[in-house]
Amino acid sequence: MNKHSSSNDILTKLAQQNEDIVLAPLLSSNQEVCYPMSLRQSRVCCFEALKSIPVVFILAIVAWSYYAYVVQMCILTIDNVPKKVIYLFIYHPLLFIFLWSYYQTMFKPLMGPPSEFYVGEAEGERIATAQTLDERRTSLLRFCHRGDLPVLTRHFDGSIRYCFLCRCIKPDRAHHCSICGKCILRYDHHCPWTNSCVSYANYKFFILFLGWALVFCTYVAATSLEYFILFWQDVNSSISPGGKFHLLFLFFAAIMFAISVSSLFFYHLYLTGKNRTTLESFRAPIFSNGPQKNGFNIGCKQNFQEIFGKKFLTAIIPIWTTRGDGVHYQVNSLLLGGLQEQQQQQQQSGNIRCSK
């Protein structure tokens, strides 16, 4: 009996301790607020730190390649002084414009929908609690007509595209980025290597970043090829083994990055020529008359000028030349004719109903 009662006492004490542990955060109002907030803040800090890892990796590779190319190759390996000067004279401008393009891609402020696209709290609640799809579609159409919003694209169910997280009507080609947590104009994709959304605000800079990275890596690979072959054959024994390692790895890294960047660069040139985003290449934008993969294609020349402008010199340097405001877009002439015809038919049918 004593053993049985003592075991019951032990179990009772353990249960009470567990209950105290579970209820402890709830007993104090301060702990109730601070515990979840500190956890949330730590998660945000960890997530931000993880997002910066690819950028730190790129910058570390660039810093190391600068040492390998300038110090190990040009200063310590090349004996011909004019050759050193020429190599360094070309290298530094290429490095500068590459880093400038990278900086512009990362730090250009992202552009979201204008204020008139955001619905009020009451309107947002009405849209969110709509009982039927028709009721929600009617509310969205009424809001667009009231604000005269230039919206041509539709959701797959035919309704106006709406973001429930941001409580806004999505402008044409805008999408919500789950990583940035907001809607972005002319959203292309979220790039981990730049830790930013590639979109209307920085799409030109992103293409220039890829293009100048390709030129920069190709130049480094071409000028280091001669010494890569010499060191591979172990012809020049005056260089330390550490210096040989830097130059051998420099050539391999330049070739590897040039190949990987070239595929992205030429793919985005193709998308620019078709006036599509990466998202639109996989999922065609939907208009009131159905999906149209060439809906925003206004001709190859006009498509490039929409992003890069008309002057070649300003097109190849990372300064702002993109046309428009990120909200209004020209559409394909065939699509525009179909939309106008559809609008006329709707107006005529509306007039007939009114006359009846």
- What confidence category does residue 335 fall into, taking pLDDT thresholds of 50, 70 and 90? low
pLDDT at 343 over 70: no
Residue 108 scores a pLDDT above 60: yes
**Is the CB of residue 75 less than 8 Å from the CB of residue 84?**
yes
3 pLDDT higher than 70: no
pLDDT more than 70, % of the chain: 78
Phi, psi of 207 (to 5 degrees): -65, -40
Per-residue pLDDT tens over the stretch 250-298: 999 999 999 999 999 999 999 999 999 999 999 999 998 888 889 999 9
Gap between the Cα atoms of 250 and 220, Å rounded:
8
Identify the pLDDT of residue 129. 87
β 189-191/196-198 pair status: antiparallel
State the catalytic residue, choosing from 191, 197, 217, 300.
191
Choice among 86-90, 157-161, 181-185, 335-339 with the minimum mean pLDDT? 335-339
Q: 161 or 79, which is more confident?
A: 161
Identify the pLDDT of residue 259. Answer: 96
Q: Is 191 marked active-site?
A: yes
Lowest mean pLDDT among 236-245, 293-302, 304-313, 337-346: 337-346
The answer to whether the CB of 110 falls within 8 A of the CB of 180 is yes
d(CA 67, CA 252): 15
Q: Is the pLDDT of residue 18 over 50?
A: no
Ranges of each domain in the chain: 57-111+206-339, 115-191
CB 74 within 8 A of CB 223: no
pLDDT of residue 40: 61
AA letter at 79? D
For the residues 3-32, what does the mean pLDDT come to? Answer: 40
pLDDT, position 132: 87
Say what the alpha-carbon torsion angle 134, 140, 143, 148 is, to the nearest 10 degrees. Answer: -110
pLDDT in tens, 115-153: 999 998 888 888 888 888 888 988 899 999 998 999 999
* Mean pLDDT across 298-304: 94
Cα–Cα–Cα angle for 169, 174, 178, rounded to 5 degrees? 95
Predicted confidence (pLDDT) at residue 58 exceeds the cutoff of 50:
yes
Number of H helices, E strands in the chain: 12, 8
Which tens digit of pLDDT belongs to each residue from 215-249? 999 999 999 998 888 887 766 555 666 678 888 99
Cα separation, 334 vs 140, in Å, equals 27
Give the pLDDT confidence score for residue 7 in this predicted structure.
44
CA 147 from chain centre, in angstroms, equals 29
pLDDT for residue 45: 73
CA angle 285, 287, 288 (to 5 degrees): 160
Residue 168's φ and ψ, nearest 5 degrees, are -145, 155
Burial per residue of 252-266, b for 16 or more beta-carbon CB atoms within 10 angstroms, e otherwise: ebbbebbeebbebbe
Query: How are beta strands 286-287 and 290-291 bridged, if at all?
Result: antiparallel
